[in-house]
């Protein structure tokens, strides 16, 4: 049976439904964003960990030229190594009927029985290849889907070592190595142009000319090997010591630096994405719950003020303070409950949607939405916590309200001349503005909370739109400003300078800029990092180092330029010396002075002049890549010619990757952005609508008096709107700041900075967009109360106050 107080509660809520709904929506946004982000995060992590576990993803990876199979035993003997899997991996071009340019196929050799001890396959459809068959392949799922390949039906042409082969697609599979599948050297998933073909390694070795040898290593570490860098003690086994030992073993065989899982391309990208998601799960929901707490505080405060008489009556008839306090606390709890229920449902829905987006790029055998009960409970508890926090002051006020005092009308509110008036500012404005200013100044806490709420709303929208700015900046400054070529060519081996002339004479080529890229390890004290060291010609104008905000960093003849992120990792500053070890050929070691660091938006990089690099390598000439400026009319023809050249490993067209970048970032951002914009607008509506309702109900007497004195409804509305507009205006600027700051929190963190850095400022367009949305939402909510202002009951309001 519902008690009389229970009935009062329900009817009070029904009568203030506009406010109940707007606040519940803010709570719902907070919970929904938390549940969606957090559940997506947990689900992705679970899917990843299960995939890694079930398919035995390796811990350490290394490429080399080729080594006889007997070397495997040496790798197995390295202390700390658990399992070693050696294999052949080779790229081949696949001229496909449904593509104008050939796709890249990465052939990965597996044991004949198809079950490697590391990096195993999760077979999705079809079957594994028959042992000994060199013409059967299991194909990566994303590529198969992009081309509609049916196992058992489809065949693929692939050029390996200059010979065209036809392989039959017998199965479709996933691998932990290719959760995010991208060609070597790229950061874009390109399912149409890149596929993995798992084949019987022994059967295809002759075709790849690596019979009895391997050129790729995956190994796992024993469980007790500490993974942390720098954990290395004298004689102790660590991940770092294993890496060094692997390098040592593979050095005679053209080994490239071994790297641990955190630098494995697919895993690194996942980690960066997960880290962003993880940080968003705390930043964004906290903003909403903060606003919800403030709204509940303000609204409950007003309800209590309006119900002073009722509270007094309840006390007079013998209700205890805590019974009455509980009654009002229940009001808050119910509002939060509505919000929480809606938020949980919405959050689950959004979480599912987010996973759908992720599933387009990240291929897991099983990516299902996890809704851990503990996580949901945390969300609900956090929102109740915020609600109770918001209500606490008011509830304490209720308990302290002496019944006899509550029975009397409130003493006139104390207004004072504000400092604005004292300095004479107010004389410039009319009395209506004095009312506005005094009201705002008299309640500094409420005013600042309203301003804070608006700021949060602006911040969330700036944050949402900021991602576009970041992507634009990444593209414009991080990529386009530094890469002004039309086509980049990579050669399979180092070629001499004649290649430069040959390229220059190809049809449509307007300029050629040769490059020499070598694997290298940079050391500074105990810290080191292996990466690609790029040598560029003096005065290079196609490939340049460009930092943010846009500025070209010149590569000097002497010394080395490294990205700021790398400099921070190594703990060096311009002027310091670095030890640079080239990890191929004679492995020369030189000391180079850091000439400059560049705040590049993308990744880690190190650059020297071609002269410096050649001096280090003791080469007179030699290049393994080139940037080409091409007459656009000849682009297609040139592309085809380049791909036919035997020495060319890859051809990368700028127009293609720019399109991929745009598509990839738009796919991932548009939905999230739209949802966050809606959520941000919900906060603005929640704040302004509740402020407006409170202004009208608490001051209806004053406003009605003004009407009696001859003010028009428009003038009276102007006073209320003046207050609201002032709060909104005051909240805009801090909101813009807060938004930029929030996003920097989301995008900060080591694993993210390895792949890209966020530019530090949002664009004017984003600011204008956020301001526009918030002002519109505010105007809309203010208009919702206009009706109440026009209907002020002049006679009733001026009668004795109950």
Give the binding site for another protein (CB under 8 A).
3-5, 7-8, 11-12, 15, 309-310, 312-321, 323, 402-405, 407, 411-412, 414, 800, 802
756: region left, alpha or beta (phi > 0 left; psi from -120 to 50 alpha): beta
The smaller minimum CB distance to another protein, of residues 315 and 654, is found at 315
The smaller minimum CB distance to another protein, of residues 313 and 761, is found at 313
Q: Interior CA angle at 486 toward 481 and 490, to 5°?
A: 105
The smaller minimum CB distance to another protein, of residues 8 and 524, is found at 8
| CB of 440 vs another protein, minimal distance in Å | 21
The smaller minimum CB distance to another protein, of residues 316 and 765, is found at 316
Among residues 695, 714, 697, 716, the alpha carbon closest in space to that of 705 is found at 716
Can you read off the two tokens belonging to residue 484? 């002004």
Longest dimension (CA), the chain: 102
CA distance linking residue 532 with residue 521, whole number of Å = 8
C-beta of residue 616 within 8 angstroms of C-beta of residue 770: no
Return the CA Rg of the chain: 33
| CB of 412 vs another protein, minimal distance in Å | 6
The smaller minimum CB distance to another protein, of residues 315 and 707, is found at 315
The smaller minimum CB distance to another protein, of residues 209 and 408, is found at 408
C-beta of residue 391 within 8 angstroms of C-beta of residue 328: yes
Where b means 16+ CB within 10 Å and e means fewer, 567-588 reads bebbebeeeeebebbbbbeeee
Half-sphere exposure of 130 (CA within 13 A, CB side): 7
CA distance linking residue 436 with residue 726, whole number of Å = 9
Can you read off the two tokens belonging to residue 460? 């969330």
Q: Parallel, antiparallel, or unpaired for β 509-524 and 648-653?
A: unpaired
| CB of 793 vs another protein, minimal distance in Å | 13
Instruction: Give the CA-trace dihedral at 212, 215, 216, 221, to 10 degrees.
Output: 70
Where do runs of H (alpha helix) occur along 576-699? 610-617, 635-644, 654-698
The smaller minimum CB distance to another protein, of residues 313 and 713, is found at 313
The smaller minimum CB distance to another protein, of residues 9 and 688, is found at 9
DSSP character at residue 177:
G
The smaller minimum CB distance to another protein, of residues 465 and 699, is found at 699
Among residues 109, 106, 66, the alpha carbon closest in space to that of 88 is found at 109
| CB of 695 vs another protein, minimal distance in Å | 22
| CB of 322 vs another protein, minimal distance in Å | 10
CA distance linking residue 781 with residue 771, whole number of Å = 15
The smaller minimum CB distance to another protein, of residues 317 and 586, is found at 317
| CB of 802 vs another protein, minimal distance in Å | 5
| CB of 310 vs another protein, minimal distance in Å | 5
Half-sphere exposure of 4 (CA within 13 A, CB side): 4
The smaller minimum CB distance to another protein, of residues 313 and 554, is found at 313
Half-sphere exposure of 500 (CA within 13 A, CB side): 15
| CB of 13 vs another protein, minimal distance in Å | 10
The smaller minimum CB distance to another protein, of residues 15 and 670, is found at 15
Sheet holding 259-260, edge to edge: 81-87, 213-221, 60-68, 259-260
| CB of 12 vs another protein, minimal distance in Å | 6
Among residues 675, 779, 775, 715, the alpha carbon closest in space to that of 32 is found at 675
CA distance linking residue 198 with residue 167, whole number of Å = 11
**Bridge partners of residue 158, in order along the sequence:** 165
CB neighbour class for 594 (10 Å; exposed up to 12, middle 13-18, buried from 19): buried
Among residues 543, 568, 566, the alpha carbon closest in space to that of 554 is found at 543
| CB of 789 vs another protein, minimal distance in Å | 22
| CB of 300 vs another protein, minimal distance in Å | 16
| CB of 726 vs another protein, minimal distance in Å | 26
| CB of 405 vs another protein, minimal distance in Å | 7
| CB of 676 vs another protein, minimal distance in Å | 38
Q: Parallel, antiparallel, or unpaired for β 103-110 and 194-200?
A: parallel
N- to C-terminal Cα separation, the chain: 30
The smaller minimum CB distance to another protein, of residues 11 and 251, is found at 11
The smaller minimum CB distance to another protein, of residues 318 and 710, is found at 318
| CB of 698 vs another protein, minimal distance in Å | 17
Can you read off the two tokens belonging to residue 422? 């004292």
The smaller minimum CB distance to another protein, of residues 7 and 591, is found at 7
The smaller minimum CB distance to another protein, of residues 414 and 428, is found at 414
The full 3-state SS of 480-522, as one line of letters, equals HCCECCCEEEEEEEEECCHHHHHHHCCCCEEEEEEEEEEEEEE
In sequence order, which residues have a C-beta less than 8 Å from that of residue 596 and are 6 or more positions away?
553, 554, 556, 561, 574
| CB of 337 vs another protein, minimal distance in Å | 20
Among residues 696, 690, 687, 698, the alpha carbon closest in space to that of 716 is found at 696
């Amino acid at each position: 049976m519902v008690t009389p107080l229970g009935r009062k509660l329900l009817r009070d809520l029904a009568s203030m439904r506009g406010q109940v709904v707007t606040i519940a929506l803010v709570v719902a946004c907070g919970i929904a964003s938390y549940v969606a982000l957090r559940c997506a995060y947990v689900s992705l992590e679970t899917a990843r960990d299960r995939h890694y576990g079930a398919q035995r993803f390796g811990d350490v990876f290394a490429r080399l030229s080729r080594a006889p199979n007997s070397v495997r035993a040496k790798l197995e003997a390295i202390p700390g190594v658990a399992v070693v899997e050696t294999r052949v991996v080779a790229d081949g071009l696949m001229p496909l009927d449904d593509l104008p340019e050939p796709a890249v196929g990465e052939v990965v050799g597996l044991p004949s029985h198809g079950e490697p001890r590391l990096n195993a396959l999760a077979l999705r459809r079809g079957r594994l290849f028959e042992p000994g068959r060199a013409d059967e392949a299991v194909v990566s799922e994303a590529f198969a889907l992009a081309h509609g390949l049916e196992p058992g039906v489809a065949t693929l042409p692939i050029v390996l070592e200059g010979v065209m082969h036809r392989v039959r697609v017998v199965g479709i599979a996933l691998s932990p190595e290719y959760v995010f599948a991208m060609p070597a050297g790229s950061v874009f998933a390109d399912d149409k142009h890149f596929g993995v073909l798992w084949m019987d390694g022994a059967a295809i070795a002759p075709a790849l000319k690596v019979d009895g040898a391997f050129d790729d290593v995956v190994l796992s570490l024993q469980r007790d090997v500490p993974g942390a860098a720098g954990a290395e003690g004298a004689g102790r086994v660590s991940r770092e010591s294993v890496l060094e030992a692997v390098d040592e073993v593979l050095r005679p065989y053209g080994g490239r630096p071994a790297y641990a899982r955190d630098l494995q391309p697919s895993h690194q990208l996942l980690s960066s994405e997960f880290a962003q998601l993880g940080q968003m799960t705390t930043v964004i929901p906290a903003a909403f719950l903060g606003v919800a707490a403030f709204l509940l505080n303000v609204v409950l405060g007003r309800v209590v003020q309006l119900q002073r008489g009722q509270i007094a009556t309840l006390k007079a008839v013998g209700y205890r303070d805590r019974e009455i306090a509980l009654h009002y606390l229940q009001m808050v709890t119910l509002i939060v409950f509505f919000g929480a229920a809606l938020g949980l449902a919405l959050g689950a829905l959004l979480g599912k949607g987010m996973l759908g987006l992720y599933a387009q790029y990240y291929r897991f055998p099983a990516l299902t939405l996890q809704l851990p009960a503990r996580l949901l409970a945390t969300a609900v508890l956090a929102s109740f916590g915020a609600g109770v926090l918001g209500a606490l002051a008011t509830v304490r006020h209720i308990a302290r309200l002496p019944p006899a005092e509550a029975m009397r009308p409130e003493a006139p509110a104390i207004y004072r001349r504000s400092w604005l008036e004292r300095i004479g500012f107010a004389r410039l404005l009319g009395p209506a503005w004095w009312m506005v200013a005094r009201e705002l100044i008299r309640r500094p806490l409420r005013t600042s909370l309203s301003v804070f709420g608006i700021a949060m709303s602006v911040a969330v929208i700036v944050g949402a739109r900021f991602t576009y700015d970041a992507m634009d900046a990444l593209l414009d400054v991080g990529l386009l400003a530094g890469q002004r070529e039309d086509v980049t060519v990579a050669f399979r081996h180092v070629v001499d300078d004649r290649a430069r002339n040959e390229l220059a004479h190809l049809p449509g080529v307007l300029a050629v800029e040769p490059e020499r890229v070598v694997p290298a390890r940079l050391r500074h004290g105990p810290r080191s990092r292996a990466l690609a060291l790029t040598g560029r010609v003096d005065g290079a104008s196609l490939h340049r180092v460009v930092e943010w905000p846009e500025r070209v960093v010149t590569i000097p003849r002497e010394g080395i330029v490294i990205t700021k992120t790398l400099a921070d990792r190594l703990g060096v500053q311009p002027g310091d010396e670095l030890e640079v070890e080239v990890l191929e050929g004679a492995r020369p070691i030189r000391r180079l002075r850091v000439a400059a660091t560049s705040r590049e938006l993308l990744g880690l990089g190190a650059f020297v002049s071609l002269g410096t690099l050649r001096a280090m390598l003791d080469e007179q000439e030699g290049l393994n890549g080139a940037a080409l400026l091409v007459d656009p009319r000849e682009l297609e023809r040139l592309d085809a010619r380049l791909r036919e050249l035997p020495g060319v490993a890859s051809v990368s067209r700028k127009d293609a990757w720019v399109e991929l970048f745009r598509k990839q970032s738009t796919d991932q951002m548009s939905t999230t952005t739209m949802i966050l914009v809606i959520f941000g607008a919900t906060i603005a509506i929640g704040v302004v609508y509740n402020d407006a309702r409170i202004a009208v109900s608490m001051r209806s007497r004053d406003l009605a008096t003004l009407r009696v004195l001859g003010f028009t409804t428009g003038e009276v509305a102007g006073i209320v709107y003046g207050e609201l507009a002032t709060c909104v205006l005051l909240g805009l600027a801090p909101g813009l700041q807060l938004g930029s700051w929030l996003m920097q929190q989301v995008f900060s963190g080591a694993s993210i900075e390895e792949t890209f850095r966020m530019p530090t400022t949002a664009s004017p367009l984003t600011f204008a967009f956020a301001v526009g949305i918030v002002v519109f939402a505010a105007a809309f909510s203010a208009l919702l109360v206009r009706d109440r202002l026009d209907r002020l009951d002049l006679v009733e309001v001026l009668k004795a106050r109950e």
